[in-house]
Structure 1
């Protein structure tokens, strides 16, 4: 009986070791569920899947998650995307808040403010990687392929730009011109990491700084009233 138990233990250990070796240098199915997302699915592994155009089904289920969000009450414009704020620069009376999305962020975009969809434009002609702020202001043909959803709101014109990358080439837009949208409503999705840019009037106070992480439909980015008004 003792020998049989030892043989079972050795067989299990051998099976576990075989899994580790098979999946090296990436996590094995035994350890993956115990790890946080960035370690569970390393970037190099995801890029390999992109190259082969074949993804692990559990990663796809994780990537496609669309959790409910508690929309906060208040006179603020909310983040249109989950991610890292990389720029809040202004130009020609417009503030461009750039949010970089990673392979592990939730990728559904939400409307920052209530309003009516004025236009949905398809812009750009290339797929490229790079720092989001480098092309935050560009709308010329040499800018990355993107969709710009313009909204008419109580504070004036606002726009959400979903920008592609080498890895993220598919944009879904779920609203059409003339449609009314609520603050925090889902409006689209980018497939596999990229950039979202929020365009707002530069006169409105910005409530977010570069380096902060934000959540779509929850994090306040801009006040709806100018200082002192």
Structure 2
């Protein structure tokens, strides 16, 4: 009798769990989320739905807003300004544009590639125009690009810039250092709230050690080897 009762309880619990899963299909049920990787826990389609209705899952927001401690490497060189995948390193007029694509599951706090002084913080796109046309591939791919460009003067590497780029769907960008302030290598620069692209502008002469297709971590991964030769 005891065995039968236990079996009935187990079957009842399984029925409840399957019912919870079925009512939320194709998205995971709450009880299942904790056992899944972030990509499976919060599928892209579901996140895009939250972007439209503004009703984000609290667990996803907590995960998205994480800000782990980062330690720059002891080797000389620029560090990546963002977590993500390097998708391009095109050169124009002596400037290399290292493009880092972020997913919904990447950490979204950006960091300074080097120590220096913040010269300007330049927002653009307030009226749904990027101000530069669509000749840059990283702007062509955006719908109504909105960006903030942080220009940094450094002793070792010359003038750098970090662009935080988002779109009309998620156009909130936070920048924390003020113009004229001194910043350290790996220091937090800001955050793109659900944005997806960060671009590091650097002199073409810098010896790049990161490659297209490589995943990088903000403030930790070297993208150049040393200063200008």
Output the CA distance in 1 between the equivalents of 2:11 and 2:160: 63
- In the TM superposition, 1:28-43 aligns within 5 A as 28-43=29-44
Cα deviation, 1:9-51, whole Å, max 9, x if unaligned, reads: 2221111111111110111122211111111111001011111
- In the TM superposition, 1:1-229 aligns within 5 A as 1-124=2-125, 125-126=127-128, 134-135=137-138, 144-154=145-155, 155-226=157-228, 229=229
User: Relative to structure 1, is the Cα distance of residues 69 and 163 closer, same or farther in structure 2, using a 3 angstrom cutoff?
Assistant: same
Q: Does the Cα contact within 8 Å between 1:111 and 1:185 map onto a contact in 2?
A: yes
Q: Does the Cα contact within 8 Å between 1:86 and 1:133 map onto a contact in 2?
A: no
The more displaced of 165-174 and 91-100 is 165-174
What is the TM-score when the length of structure 1 is the normalising length? 0.90
Cα deviation, 1:171-204, whole Å, max 9, x if unaligned, reads: 0000111110000000100011310000001111
- SS for the counterpart of 1:104 is coil
TM-fit CA distance, 1:133: 5.7
Q: Could you say what the CA RMSD is over the residues aligned between the two structures, in angstroms? A: 2.2
Output the CA distance in 1 between the equivalents of 2:135 and 2:8: 56
Gaps of 5+ in 2: none
TM-fit CA distance, 1:143: 6.8
Output the CA distance in 1 between the equivalents of 2:167 and 2:129: 5
Output the CA distance in 1 between the equivalents of 2:89 and 2:135: 11
What is the TM-score when the length of structure 2 is the normalising length? 0.90
Q: Does the Cα contact within 8 Å between 1:127 and 1:169 map onto a contact in 2?
A: no
TM-fit CA distance, 1:148: 0.5
Output the CA distance in 2 between the equivalents of 1:150 and 1:180: 12
Output the CA distance in 2 between the equivalents of 1:55 and 1:199: 33
Q: Does the Cα contact within 8 Å between 2:165 and 2:195 map onto a contact in 1?
A: no
Output the CA distance in 1 between the equivalents of 2:41 and 2:139: 31
Output the CA distance in 2 between the equivalents of 1:193 and 1:33: 25
Q: Does the Cα contact within 8 Å between 1:87 and 1:133 map onto a contact in 2?
A: no
Output the CA distance in 2 between the equivalents of 1:8 and 1:132: 64
